[in-house]
Amino acid sequence: MIQVEQLDKEFSGKKVLEDINVDFEQGKANLIIGQSGSGKTVLLKSIVGLHTIDNGTVLYDGRDFHRLKKTEQKKVRQEMGMLFQGSALFDSYNVADNVRFPLDIFTNQSKAEKMKRVAFCLDRVNLHDVEHLLPSELSGGMKKRVAIARAISMNPKYLFCDEPNSGLDPKTSVVIDDLLLELTHDFNMTTIINTHDLNSMMGIGEKIVFIDEGKVEWTGNRDGLLSTKNETLHSFIYSSKILKDSSN
């Protein structure tokens, strides 16, 4: 479980996040939603420690991440996996080396054990016979799946995904969403997903946090999303032309 309490963050005097209080539950897909510029990427990066925070705490199962010593932070980081918007695969490494990379750095496993783990992770994301390919030879969806395989290679307790569907077609987006949800349940991870994709919200939103202008405006789940009385969220959701047409 990840608890964010009274978190503030500003850049050059401009408040980007203000008094954020939210719990992200274990074994669930927790979605942070909001329009572009609302502060959801800053929130995610503040949670994982890529941004420092001005006030507040981020607790990883009770451990106050931003106040831990560097060595203790490193240990927590080894329990994290992250899927970046652009996949962030290492260009000069092939698929197998990308997935194996954290194992090479942090484990003392033999090469055979590591390759077994790589095969397992790639199998979990439904990728086969791609071990020798370079990232430049993969499609957008395949890159995302390799990045997920790399993120789960160390068997993380916490999985973070920044816009996992950006640049993907609707069909591939659903495949990635389903995969993230399945892995979250199978590995009992605390998964936090940043998205503004309505399909994702309705498909995998077991817990949804709506951010607007740097503040938590609404929390709930996919069932309460469409019937919300919150005006800001309502206007965000129903800005979708499909929903607008169907509600008329």
| Segment contacting another protein by CB under 8 A, of 21-29, 101-109, 221-229, 237-245 | 101-109
- Interaction residues for another protein, span 159-188 (CB under 8 A): 160
**Span of 60-68, 103-111, 120-128, 234-242 interacting with another protein by CB under 8 A:** 103-111
Question: Which of these ranges, 34-42, 78-86, 177-185, 226-234, lies near another protein under the rule CB under 8 A?
Answer: 78-86
Residue 57's φ and ψ, nearest 5 degrees, are -135, 155
Residues 131 and 97: their CA atoms lie apart, in Å, by 8
- Bridge-based pairing of strands 2-11 and 14-24 is antiparallel
Q: Pick one of 5, 19, 84, 140: the residue that binds another protein (CB under 8 A).
A: 84
Taking CB under 8 A as the rule, does residue 75 contact another protein? Answer: yes
Q: Looking at beta carbons only, is 20 or 147 nearer to another protein?
A: 147
Measured between alpha carbons, how far is 101 from 115 in angstroms, rounded to an integer?
11
- Shortest Å, Cβ 45 to another protein: 8
67 touches another protein by CB under 8 A? no
Closest CB 42 distance from another protein, rounded Å: 13
| # binding residues, another protein (CB under 8 A) | 25
- What does the binding site for another protein look like in residue numbers (CB under 8 A)? 48-50, 73-75, 77-78, 80-82, 84-86, 88-91, 101-102, 104-106, 154, 160
